[in-house]
Each structure stands twice: as C-alpha cells, then as structure tokens.
Amino acid sequence: MTGKRWLCSTRIEKRVSRLSLSECVWKIRSRTRSLLFITIPLLIACGPRSLSMYTHQAINTHPTSTPTTILGGGLAGLAFAYFANLAGERVKLFEAAPFLGGNGRTLRFGEALVDTGAHRLHDRNTVATEAFSSLLGPDLRRVEAPSQIIWRGRGIDFPLKPLNAAMRMGPKGLFRVLAENIIPNRGCTPTTFEELAVFRYGPTLAGNFLLNYSEKLWGRRADELDPKVAGGRLSGLTLGSVLRELLLGANATTRHLDGAFYYPTRGFGMLVDALVDHIGEEYLHTNAPVTRITHDGQRVLSLDVSGECQKLGGEVVSTIPLPRLVELLDPPAEESVRRAARSLSYRHLRLCIVRLDQDTVSSSASLYFPEKSIPFTRLYEPKNRSSEMSPVGSTAIVLEIPCSDQEKWWMMSDDAFETEVLSALPATGLEVGPIIGVHSVRLSNAYPILDLNAAGTASKLLEYMGSFENLRLGGRAGTFRYLHTHDLFADAHEWANNRAAFGTPTSST
C-alpha cells in the first residue's frame, strides 16, 4: 500500500514566496524589529552577560579565524551554530545524513505536509521563545489544541486528570481509584517509574494509563525505568486535585507541555530552514560523516570527515549520539569507558503516515494509546497544528511506533508495516474516511532509553568527555537526556553567552 514519496522541505515553498518584493521587504523589516525586541527583554531577564552576546555580532564584524566545529546537523547542532553565529563566530558543521534537521523535519506526501514527530514549540524559556519569534516572525503562531488519551474507545483528558479518568472507568473503577488514594502516601521516595506512578495515582490508574504506555514507549518494564522518564508529568491524585476538578471541570488544567504551544504555519521544518538561512548553507556540510576523532588526552586535535583529515584549532561541539562519539576516539578510550558507552541505547520511531479523503479526524493535537493491543503509542494530525498542512477536504494522520533495532516493527518491509498498522486503526474507535495514500518513515535514535542504569552510566561518560578542554556536548542524543526544543536552544545560548562573556572554551555538558 506504499504510495510514492516526496520527501521535501518547506524550503521550496519558502523560496517561492520570496518572489514577492513586498514580502521580502516585510521579512527584512520584521527581522530588524525582532532583534530590538530580543535584546531589551534579555537584558532585563538575564542581565548584561546576555546582552553582551547579542550585541557581539555588531561589535565583532570580523569573525574569529578559527571556526567552531559542530558535529551533527539536527536541531541541537543548528541551535549551537545559530547562537555562535549571533556571537560573531564562524562555524563549520558536519552532518552524516544528506539533509539537515535530524528528526525535526517537515516532509511532503502528495498535498500533505507532515512533521517527523509530534513537534511543538513551548513557551518555557524566554531566550528560546525569542529566538523562535526572531527566526520565524509572523509564521510563528500560537495554537490551542489539547491532547487526549484514548482508552477502550473513550477519550480521557491529557495531561491525566485523575477524577476525569476514574469516571470514564465506570462506578466500580471510580470507587476503586478513590479507595486506593483516600489515604495519601507520605515519606516514600520512589526509585523506579513503576513506584512513582503507583505512589502518585494508585495501582488502578497507574496500571491502565501509565505503566502500559511507558513500557510501549521505552521498550522496558516499568520497574526497570528511571523515575525521570516521567518528565515532571505526574502531579498525582490528591484531595485538592479532586476538588479542583469537581469545581472547575474542564478548566482544571495542569501546567504541562501539551495544550497551548507555538507552531510554524507550514510545519516544524520551517524552523530548520530559518536556522539554515541565518547560519548560511556554505558553513553546513551534509553527506559528511565523521569517522575518526584524534586527541592527545586533553584536547580534540583533528577529525576524519569523508576520508579527509580536518585539523582543529578551536572548540568542538558534539551533538552526535554519545556512544558513537566514544567509539570514534583515537586513541581509543579505556575499555571500561567503551563498555559503558555500549550499554547505552536509544529508542527508534517508525512512522506510518495515512493521507485521508476527509477534512479532519479529531480536534486534538495528539492522541495517546496506552493499551498494549494497539501497537502505536501516539497519533497526531498536522492539520490541527496549522490549517496549511493539508488542503481543505483532506487530512493526514501520523501513527508512531517506538521500536529497537531487532524488533519486527523496525525490520518489516514498508508494505507489511503499513498493512499491520492500518489493521489496528478500527480498535481506536476513530472514524477514518477513504485512504488516499500510506507511507512510512524511520527515525533513528529518537529517545535515549532512561533505564535504572542509564543515568549513572551517562554521567560517567559525560564526565570523561568533559575532560577534553575544547569539547562541549549538547542535544538529546549527545548528552543522553530527554530534552525539548526549548531546552536545546537554552543550552546552546548558555554556551555561546559564556564564551562571549569570558572568551574561553567551555567543556561542560
């Protein structure tokens, strides 16, 4: 059932729009205004060190002769290049893939634009939000689109509201949930995700909505997962939360990264395109895999890129997967370090994109599926983020299947994968119209697997890599942390701001 693929960036549409002189003038003027609006709030929020970085470009019109070398051209690598560029520094970025943006691209299938992931831009960091606004201008829009959990064909609020979920389970389920939580848990420090979920919600809610979903997502039992996989999402069931839901109903919202967010008009890939335009394509090298990194135990000295040795004099920022970075070192790290690196693993995603001859499937930003009988963990409909993602009268849905290298979902042919995923759609209870086309995409290293051993192991590796005085690690894969886009920008800004303030390399992670 695989249709023909068009793996296009929104860059094509963006360049066509530049044929309009009035639009060109607007973009130039809006960029000028954006820089003014960035500088003043950042001075207030972050102090003079932040302002010094943003005014550095005007002061230092002659970039340093030694460029900063960046490994990896995903969002993290581009964010580091962007803030280095703002600080007046030259950069040289190497990306092994034939494209930039990593797992944060926008692809075209027929007339539908689809992101490689349910990406959103959250207003959780002032610097990041200002950067998004500066890069995207009027193409950045605020979206109000809450998400839902689909359980046995019923919609339940997400983030999880305990009373709302319990009531969907019927009178017996409601009674059981209240009985399990009538006496609050105190004095317990959960050491696993399973303990945390049960501690916060009780066995019934945790078992139905949290544990199964987490095991599908991470590929590990819940008692093998670190509590950090919750990411601050589990607020728990308390008397206060029950009363709040009873009194406020649908307005009893929880502060969470779902619900209200910012989104580019023609897909998340617009952010990637804007970053590339700002940095300059001539400094960004694709099809450029790094195959060796030489060092003297204190500094990184050179890289082998596509068979060519690149001598280094400046700082290196690596956003490539942490185990891969250790593997590339020459001379090799000691065996205990290499063994630790091999023990870390990442979760991949395989996407099934279904184009439909109907205007919309749901009004939610994302739908989550905790039941193990349904193979996908999440469904998102790009059109609910921006109406420009699909024409009127048609839509696309994206179904995410987390998997690892040796699992059947990763190894299956496109036809077999698409057929099996589609066969599970009726169990969701969603009304899905005539299918126009079906496609699949593989995304490698989407999530670091945060099991109980990972945190300590990653910490040791980060400490080892931090011993190189001209090496800085960044990004989700590069630091083995679960980070959002605003986190990536905040980290990159902090790094560049410190360099501008002190004029010395920063090797911290």
**How large is the average pLDDT for residues 67-96?**
96
Residue 423's SS3 state is helix
Q: CB burial class (10 A; 0-12, 13-18, 19+) of residue 431? A: exposed
**pLDDT value at position 232?**
55
Strand partners, 441: 351
Indicate the pairing of strand 106-109 with strand 140-145.
unpaired
Rounded Cα–Cα distance for residues 426 and 422 (Å)? 8
**pLDDT value at position 295?**
98
Rounded Cα–Cα distance for residues 97 and 343 (Å)? 25
Rounded Cα–Cα distance for residues 292 and 320 (Å)? 13
Q: CB burial class (10 A; 0-12, 13-18, 19+) of residue 365? A: buried
Residue 277: pLDDT over 70: yes
Rounded Cα–Cα distance for residues 10 and 271 (Å)? 10
Q: Is the backbone peptide bond immediately before 159 cis, with ω within 30 degrees of 0?
A: yes
**pLDDT value at position 185?**
63
Q: CB burial class (10 A; 0-12, 13-18, 19+) of residue 492? A: buried
Average pLDDT of the residues of the chain:
83
Q: Where is average pLDDT lowest: 50-64, 253-267, 285-299?
A: 50-64
Residue 88: pLDDT over 50: yes
Output the DSSP codes for 88-153: T--EEEE-SSSSSBTT--EEEETTEEEESS---B-S--HHHHHHHHHHHGGGEEEEEE-EEEEETT
| Total residue count of the chain as it appears in this document | 509
Residue reference for tokens 């207003």: 123
What are the pLDDT digits (tens) for 312-325?
A: 989 999 999 999 99
Residue 255: pLDDT over 90: no
Rounded Cα–Cα distance for residues 246 and 403 (Å)? 39
Q: Where is average pLDDT lowest: 163-172, 192-201, 475-484?
A: 163-172
What token pair was written down for 89?
Answer: 């520094």
**pLDDT value at position 505?**
54
pLDDT-based confidence at residue 26 (cuts at 50, 70, 90): very low
What are the pLDDT digits (tens) for 410-449?
A: 999 999 999 999 999 999 999 998 999 999 999 999 999 9
Output the DSSP codes for 430-485: -----EEEEEEEEEEEEEE--BTTHHHHHHHHHHHHTTSTTEEE-SHHHHT----H
Residue 498: pLDDT over 70: yes
Number of helices and strands (H, E) in the chain? 19, 20
Q: Which CATH class is domain 11-104+121-142+265-344+452-502?
A: alpha beta
pLDDT-based confidence at residue 503 (cuts at 50, 70, 90): low
**How large is the average pLDDT for residues 459-465?**
95
What token pair was written down for 84?
Answer: 């280095």
Residue 61: pLDDT over 70: no
Residue 350's SS3 state is strand
**How large is the average pLDDT for residues 159-181?**
78
Percent of the chain with pLDDT over 70: 79
Residue 18's SS3 state is coil
Pick the closest to residue 247 from 308, 314, 163, 309 (CA basis): 163
Residue 104: pLDDT over 90: yes
pLDDT-based confidence at residue 98 (cuts at 50, 70, 90): very high
Strand partners, 447: 347
Pick the closest to residue 164 from 212, 217, 201 (CA basis): 201
Q: Where is average pLDDT lowest: 89-103, 192-206, 362-376, 483-497?
A: 192-206
Helix (H) or strand (E) holding 348: strand 346-356
Residue 87: pLDDT over 70: yes
**How large is the average pLDDT for residues 358-367?**
94
pLDDT-based confidence at residue 183 (cuts at 50, 70, 90): low
Strand partners, 148: 157, 367
Rounded Cα–Cα distance for residues 208 and 235 (Å)? 17
CA distances from 189 to 194, 197, 206, 293 (A): 12, 12, 17, 42
Rounded Cα–Cα distance for residues 504 and 469 (Å)? 10
Indicate the pairing of strand 366-368 with strand 378-380.
antiparallel
Homologous superfamily (CATH) of 345-448 is Protoporphyrinogen oxidase, mitochondrial; domain 2 (3.90.660.20)
What token pair was written down for 98?
Answer: 């034939």
pLDDT higher for 235 or 158? 158
pLDDT higher for 249 or 132? 132
- Strand segments, DSSP code E, in 174-289 are 259-264, 284-285
Rounded Cα–Cα distance for residues 370 and 151 (Å)? 7
Q: Where is average pLDDT lowest: 68-77, 176-185, 329-338?
A: 176-185
Strand partners, 109: 112
What are the pLDDT digits (tens) for 468-478?
A: 999 999 999 99
pLDDT-based confidence at residue 42 (cuts at 50, 70, 90): very low
Residue 377's SS3 state is coil
Rounded Cα–Cα distance for residues 436 and 205 (Å)? 38
Residue reference for tokens 């003014």: 36
